Amino acid sequence: MQNTLNRIEQMHDSSLFTAAVFDQAESERIGVSNYSYWRSTFRTFFKSKLVIALVALMAAILLMSFLYPLFSKVDPTKVSTRSRNWNLRPSWDHLFGTDTLGRDIFARAWYGCRNSFLLAFCIALSDVGIGMIAGAIWGYNRKLDPIMIELYNIMTNIPSTVYLVLLAYIMNTSYLTLFISMASRGWIVEARFFRNRILSIRDSEYNIASRCLGTPMFRIATRNIIPQIISLIIMEAALCIPYSIGSEVFLGFVGVGMPVDAITLGNMVNQGRASFTLHPYQMLLPTAVLCLITVAFYIIGNRFADASDPRNHL
Amino acid sequence: MKEHKGPLLLAAKDIVVKFNLRGQELTAIRGASLDVYEGETVAIVGESGSGKSVFTKTFIGMLDANGKVEGGELLFHGEDMTRYDTENQWLKVRGKKIAMVFQDPMTSLNPVRMIGEQIAEVIIWHFHKSHDEAKKETVELLTKVGIDEPERRYRQYPGEFSGGMRQRVVIAAAIACRPEILICDEPTTALDVTVQAQVLNLIKALQREMGMSVVFITHDLGVVANVADWMAVMYAGKIIEYGEVGEVFHQPEHPYTKALLRSLPQLGVKGHDLYAIQGTPPNLFKEIRGDAFAPRNPDAMKIDFLEEAPAFPVSETHWARTWLLSPQAKAFREALIKKEAETRSVQTPALPFDYEQAEPLLSVRDLSVHFKLGSSRVKAVDHVTFDIYKGETLSLVGESGSGKTTIGRAIMSIYTGNVEGDISFKGRKINRKLNKKERGKLHMEIQMIFQDPMASLNDRAKVDYIISEGLYNYHLFENEQDRLAKVEKMLAEVGLTSDFMTRFPHEFSGGQRQRIGIARSLVMNPDFVVADEPISALDVSIRAQVINLLNRMKKERGLTYLFIAHDLSAVRFISDRIAVIYRGRLVELATCEELFSRPLHPYTKALLSAAPYPDPDVEKNKAVLSYHPERESREGKEWIEAFPFHFLYATREEAEKYVHENI
What pLDDT sits at residue A191? 93
Kind of pairing between the strands at B393-397 and B560-565: parallel
Judge whether B19 and B66 are in contact, CB under 8 Å: yes
Distance of CA B204 to the CA centre of its chain: 21
Whether A12 contacts chain B with CB within 8 A: yes
Identify which of B282, B286, B301 has the shortest CB distance to residue A17.
B301
Q: Which residues of B239-260 are buried (b: 16+ CB within 10 A; e: fewer)?
A: bbbbbbbbbbbeebbbbbbbbb
What pLDDT sits at residue B1? 44
* Interface touch A224/B458, C-beta < 8 Å: yes
Q: Which of residues 368-427 of B touch A (CB under 8 A)?
A: 409, 412, 414
pLDDT at B498 over 60: yes
Identify which of A28, A216, A228 has the shortest CB distance to residue B280.
A28
pLDDT at B511 over 80: yes
Query: In angstroms, what separates the C-alpha of A26 from chain B's closest C-alpha?
Result: 6
Whether A219 contacts chain B with CB within 8 A: yes
Query: In angstroms, what separates the C-alpha of B22 from chain A's closest C-alpha?
Result: 5
Interface probe, candidates B280, B302, B330, B436, chain A, greatest A C-beta count within 10 A: B302
Residue-wise pLDDT for B14-33, tens only, equals 999 998 877 778 888 998 99
Whether A3 contacts chain B with CB within 8 A: no
pLDDT at B69 over 60: yes
Contacting residues of B for A205, CB less than 8 Å apart: 450-452, 455-456
Nearest to B200 by CA among B189, B210, B209: B189
Handedness of CA A281, A273, A244, A71 (dihedral sign): positive
Interface probe, candidates B469, B500, B546, chain A, greatest A C-beta count within 10 A: B469
Does an H or E element contain B182, and which? strand B181-185
Contacting residues of B for A43, CB less than 8 Å apart: 22
Query: In angstroms, what separates the C-alpha of A13 from chain B's closest C-alpha?
Result: 9
Instruction: Give the residue on A whose Cα is nearest the Cα of B461.
Output: A223
Interface probe, candidates B19, B22, B64, chain A, greatest A C-beta count within 10 A: B22
Higher local confidence (pLDDT), A77 or A292: A292
pLDDT at A32 over 60: no
* Interface touch A314/B21, C-beta < 8 Å: yes
pLDDT at A9 over 70: no
| pLDDT band for position B2 (cuts 50, 70, 90) | low
Judge whether A263 and B497 are in contact, CB under 8 Å: no
Judge whether B161 and B173 are in contact, CB under 8 Å: no
What pLDDT sits at residue B292? 87
pLDDT at B240 over 90: yes
List the domains of chain B with CATH numbers. Answer: 109-177 (no CATH), 262-345 (no CATH), 360-557 (3.40.50.300)
Cβ-Cβ pairs closer than 8 A, A with B, add up to 158
Taking residues A23-50, what's their average pLDDT? 77
Structure letter (DSSP) for residue B214: E
Residue-wise pLDDT for A196-225, tens only, equals 988 888 888 899 999 889 888 888 888 888
* Interface touch A213/B332, C-beta < 8 Å: no
Most confident of the following: A28-42, B156-170, B277-291: B156-170
* Interface touch B460/A9, C-beta < 8 Å: no
Instruction: Give the residue on B whose Cα is nearest the Cα of A32.
Output: B507
Residue-wise pLDDT for B246-279, tens only, equals 999 999 999 999 999 988 888 788 888 888 888 8
* Interface touch B458/A15, C-beta < 8 Å: no
Residues in chain B: 663
- How far, CA to CA in Å, does B94 sit from each of A279, A302, B12, B63? 66, 37, 16, 13
* Interface touch B294/A15, C-beta < 8 Å: no
DSSP codes of every residue in A243-290: HHHHHHHHHHHHT-SS-TTS--HHHHHHHHHHTTTT-THHHHHHHHHH
* 3-state percent helix, strand, coil for chain A, nearest multiple of 5: 75, 0, 25
* Interface touch B302/A40, C-beta < 8 Å: no
Contacting residues of A for B280, CB less than 8 Å apart: 27-30
* Interface touch B461/A227, C-beta < 8 Å: yes
Average pLDDT value for chain A: 83
What pLDDT sits at residue B591? 92
Higher local confidence (pLDDT), B630 or B396: B396
Identify which of B305, B329, B458 has the shortest CB distance to residue A17.
B329
* Interface touch A34/B300, C-beta < 8 Å: no
Q: What is the ipTM of this complex?
A: 0.80
Provide the 10 A C-beta neighbour count for residue A9.
12
Query: In angstroms, what separates the C-alpha of B286 from chain A's closest C-alpha?
Result: 7
pLDDT at B348 over 80: no
Fill in the amino acid letter for B284: L
Residue-wise pLDDT for A242-261, tens only, equals 888 888 888 877 777 777 78
Instruction: Give the residue on A whose Cα is nearest the Cα of B322.
Output: A17
Provide the 10 A C-beta neighbour count for residue B437.
8
User: Alpha helices, DSSP H only, in B145-192?
Assistant: 150-154, 163-175
* Interface touch A17/B313, C-beta < 8 Å: no
Q: Is the pTM of this model over 0.90?
A: no
What pLDDT sits at residue B98? 93
DSSP codes of every residue in B96-137: TTEEEE-S-HHHHS-TTS-HHHHHHHHHHHHH---HHHHHHH
Residue-wise pLDDT for B552-607, tens only, equals 999 999 999 999 988 788 888 899 999 999 989 999 999 998 999 999 999 999 99
Residue-wise pLDDT for B44-66, tens only, equals 998 877 888 899 999 998 888 88
Whether B441 contacts chain A with CB within 8 A: no
Q: Which of residues 187-206 of A touch B (CB under 8 A)?
A: 204-206
Nearest to B569 by CA among B629, B614, B615: B614
| pLDDT band for position B631 (cuts 50, 70, 90) | confident
* Interface touch B507/A213, C-beta < 8 Å: no
Angle formed at CA B565 by CA B564 and CA B566, multiple of 5 degrees: 150
Provide the 10 A C-beta neighbour count for residue B299.
19
Residue-wise pLDDT for B80-113, tens only, equals 888 888 888 888 888 889 999 988 777 788 889 9
What is the rounded distance in angstroms from the CA atom of residue B444 to the CA atom of residue B523? 9
Query: In angstroms, what separates the C-alpha of B513 from chain A's closest C-alpha?
Result: 12
Higher local confidence (pLDDT), B394 or B351: B394
Contacting residues of A for B510, CB less than 8 Å apart: none
What pLDDT sits at residue A2? 53
Average pLDDT value for chain B: 88
Taking residues A61-87, what's their average pLDDT? 81
Nearest to B233 by CA among B414, B20, B46: B46
Taking residues B172-199, what's their average pLDDT? 88
* Interface touch B279/A27, C-beta < 8 Å: yes
- How far, CA to CA in Å, does A278 sit from each of A93, A98, A272, A274, B467? 21, 13, 10, 9, 72
Taking residues B483-490, what's their average pLDDT? 92
Contacting residues of A for B302, CB less than 8 Å apart: 15-20
List the domains of chain A with CATH numbers. Answer: 44-72+93-312 (1.10.3720.10)
Does an H or E element contain B309, and which? none
* Cα torsion through B288, B290, B293, B297, rounded to 10: -130
Give the whole-number percent of chain B exceeding pLDDT 70: 99
* Interface touch B472/A219, C-beta < 8 Å: yes
Whether B458 contacts chain A with CB within 8 A: yes
Instruction: Give the residue on B whose Cα is nearest the Cα of A209.
Output: B456
Whether B286 contacts chain A with CB within 8 A: yes
Taking residues A83-96, what's their average pLDDT? 76
Structure letter (DSSP) for residue B301: B
Nearest to B185 by CA among B234, B140, B136: B234
Q: How many helices (H) and strands (E) does chain B have?
A: 24, 24
